[in-house]
Amino acid sequence: MIKNSQILKAGVVLAFGLATSAFAVDACKDQMANPRGSAHNVNGNQTGSISGTKWGFEQWSQGGSNSMKYYDNGTFEASWTNNTDFLARVGFRYGDNGPGKSVSGMQYTADYKYTKTGSAQYGYIGIYGWTVNPQVEYYIVDDWYSKPSSNYIGPKQGELTVDGATYTIHTYVRDQEPSKTGTSTFLQIFSVRPTARQCGHIDVQAHFNKWNELFTGQTASLPGSKGGNKSIQLKFGNVTEVMLMTEAGGGATGSVDYSYFDMSENGQPSEPPKEIERKPFGGTAASIPGTVEAENFDEGNYGVTYSGVQGASGDDGDHDYRGEDYASVDIVGGGTGKAIGYTAADEWLEYTINVTKDGEYDIAANVSNGTSAGKLELSLDGKALASLSFTGVEGDWDTYELATGKATLTAGEHVLRITIANDNTNVDYVKFSLEGAGEDDPPLAINADLRLGNTAKTLQVFDMQGKFVGLVHVAAGTSVNDAVKARFQSAGVYMVKQGSKMHRIAVK
């Protein structure tokens, strides 16, 4: 299975297009109805209109070098090098100095798909704009270069569940900072998606409506950009722009290419998710001591029993096993059968388990990652339980290894959460064994010279207490015993795992 840190999954929530369209669109899978048309280069800090459309464009930068190019159908691309701050955006512009446009009675939507490269100390990707009466800078953040921190977006003010995710809403004060009217003090409002995506549908109006519900003009004391709290009016005004934007800053270098773009002032609102009753997969809680299969997470709604990633890679994974209600979690072949794959950092899944005995437990998770070392964070009933680390094998998702740990469990029914700390980690299972419990299987014979045929292999190696000690690469036709000796430089008896088979070898 080949993938990289920028490969994410296809969106599964229907993306509704213009109200005049006969069919709903899915920007993650559909092609643009209109060809891109001619390319138009943007020179320096510039705004303007896209001829023949209702949209405008803007490029703005501070420091470094950059370029932006937009096309006749509104798609655009940009690149930047060593920028302090860079913004490229396309969408509705109503004039920076005018009265703005009331969002009451409107239905703003956006459908998009893009790829990105590079790195930045910060970067917001999604919907962006300003209001007047009062002046507010706002963001709907669907993706980022570094996940937004509350130090820079302020405290949480509420939540909005829409488009397959529960966004958190934050407010912050920019204190005598650059704005549309020069240097001024103004409010920022953020809606931040919990896990990033690179394509999909945004019901922009749902965010506007929620902000208007939360912020009715009361005065609040909020963190300011120059330190201390500032008293400011909480209110969302008339919009002067509603634009799809990429922003990157802090010595940022990178690029973005939007291959799908559509925005409407009268689009279709997103359908609310159907309510799915929470219950264990198959109707029975996983019994502990025992094995929790990663693909058998609890039934329930997105954000309740699982989170997933909506992105741009296509139809990856087996969606038939769990059905389209759970299609943002990709199930792949791997490990001992099925595994969770095409994951992103902070993705999580929950499982109802039934612990039959109090005691100390050994934990072993069967995992793989072809891009980096990784970690699983386990919690039980909302409290941290164990952290399981592993090494990964560069470019190889088919070689699984055991990440191990220990924890104390009490008898009874509990909710186990598995959180994936690193992009592109495949999870096969997590096994809980009561410490000191004997194995039912007969002891393995000790191999003095184990050879595994004419295919090179990467094997997991354990000591005789079952502790994972590392991976060993065995060349085709060579001795596993010799490879283990060369790798670990220590004589003794080891266990090596090949697929689901265990072998015991002697190293002299």
**Which domains are seen in the chain, by residue range?**
90-249 (2.60.120.180), 281-434 (2.60.120.260), 446-507 (no CATH)
pLDDT greater than 80 at residue 369: yes
pLDDT greater than 80 at residue 440: no
Decide the pairing of beta strands 286-288 and 347-355: parallel
pLDDT greater than 50 at residue 195: yes
Say what the pLDDT of residue 346 is: 84
pLDDT greater than 90 at residue 378: yes
Over residues 49-64, mean pLDDT: 95
Instruction: Band the pLDDT of 316: cuts 50, 70, 90.
Output: low
pLDDT greater than 90 at residue 499: no
Catalytic residue among 58, 77, 137, 350: 137
Alpha-carbon distances of 500 from 233, 289, 494, rounded to whole Å: 62, 19, 16
Maximum Cα–Cα distance across the chain: 84
Structure-block tokens of residue 130: 């300003």
Say what the pLDDT of residue 153 is: 95
Say what the pLDDT of residue 467 is: 77
Say what the pLDDT of residue 38 is: 96
Say what the pLDDT of residue 187 is: 97
DSSP state of 321: T
Q: How far apart are CA 243 and CA 192, in angstroms?
A: 16
Share of the chain above pLDDT 70, in %: 91
Over residues 51-59, mean pLDDT: 96
Over residues 171-184, mean pLDDT: 93
Say what the pLDDT of residue 443 is: 54
Active site residue 137: yes
In the numeric block, the tokens 């359908």 are attached to 271
Say what the pLDDT of residue 497 is: 81
Higher pLDDT, 342 or 260: 260
- Reference 118, options 77, 69, 60; nearest CA is 77
Active site residue 377: no
pLDDT greater than 70 at residue 356: yes
Helix, strand, or coil here: 237? coil
Question: In this structure, are residues 309 and 195 in contact, taking their beta carbons and an 8 Å threshold?
Answer: yes
**Cα angle at 45 between 39 and 51, to 5 degrees?**
35
Taking CB atoms within 8 Å and a gap of at least 24, the contacts of 275-282 are 275/301, 276/300, 276/301, 276/325, 278/304, 278/305, 279/352, 280/351, 280/352, 281/351
pLDDT greater than 50 at residue 311: no
Over residues 325-339, mean pLDDT: 85
pTM value surpassing 0.85: no
Say what the pLDDT of residue 431 is: 95
Higher pLDDT, 2 or 494: 494
Say what the pLDDT of residue 330 is: 86
pLDDT greater than 50 at residue 380: yes
Instruction: Band the pLDDT of 327: cuts 50, 70, 90.
Output: confident
Catalytic residue among 58, 77, 241, 247: 247
Say what the pLDDT of residue 309 is: 55
- Helix spans in 187-278 (H): 204-214
